């Protein structure tokens, strides 16, 4: 089974342009407690390199693109996030890395929990230990 679970955000367009609505428990498969966005990532810089114990997220590039790598300790898969109407579900206990940000990339992330540094697993070895125990 693929690690890559996408959610489609139908564009509510008319002759003026497009609009996407993101709603808790509807277009986003959990209650949203936090929203953040990553922009201005410098050329050649990669981000992420951690997993979360509890947090679930949906990530969508509202402009530009970046490559998302997901790894559950058994499988590692990657995908381009390059559409404002395509969200990627990132489950808990999934290692993530983001690479190859375009200059204009704005990566919007919808999160199921408030920010907590205690929820992060920032060592890949610890992550592998925890998913295999
Ligand atoms: C993830 C990927 C996709 C906060 O204070 N509050 C927040 O809500 C977040 C997300 C971060 N921060 C602070 C913690 C660090 O001092 O902002 C700084 C940068 O965070 P971090 O190095 O964790 O950023 P990324 O891009 O490596 O990872 C982020 C999220 O942290 C992470 O949950 O899944 O984006």
- What does the pLDDT read at residue 13? 84
Segment 2-34, tens digit of pLDDT: 999 999 999 998 999 999 999 999 999 999 999
Domain 5-10+26-132, CATH class in plain words: mainly beta
- What does the pLDDT read at residue 133? 80
C-alpha of residue 48 to centroid of ligand 1, in Å: 8
Atom of ligand 1 nearest to the CA of 68: 3
User: Domain map of the chain by residue range?
Assistant: 5-10+26-132
Closest CA to 110 of 54, 43, 55: 55
Segment 38-71, tens digit of pLDDT: 999 999 999 999 999 999 999 999 999 999 999 9
Residues with CB under 6 A from ligand 1: 34, 36, 38, 47-48, 57, 59, 96, 109, 115
Burial track 86-110 (b if 16+ CB lie within 10 A, e otherwise): bbbbbeeebbbbbebbeeebbbbbb
Dist CA 84 CA 129 (whole Å): 35
Residues marked active site are found at: 50
By 3-state DSSP, what share of the chain in percent is helix, strand and coil, each rounded to 5? 10, 45, 50
């Amino acid at each position: 089974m693929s690690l890559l679970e996408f959610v489609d955000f139908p564009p509510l367009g008319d002759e003026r342009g497009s609009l996407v609505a993101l709603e808790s428990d509807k277009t986003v498969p959990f209650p949203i407690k936090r929203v953040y966005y990553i922009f201005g990532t410098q050329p050649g810089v990669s981000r992420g390199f951690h997993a979360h114990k509890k947090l679930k997220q949906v990530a969508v590039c509202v402009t530009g693109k970046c490559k998302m790598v997901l790894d559950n300790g058994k499988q590692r898969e990657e995908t381009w996030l390059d559409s404002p109407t395509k969200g990627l579900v990132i489950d808990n206990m999934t290692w993530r890395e983001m690479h190859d940000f375009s200059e204009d990339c704005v990566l919007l992330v919808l999160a199921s929990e408030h920010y907590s540094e205690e929820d992060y697993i920032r060592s890949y070895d610890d992550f592998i230990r925890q998913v295999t125990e």
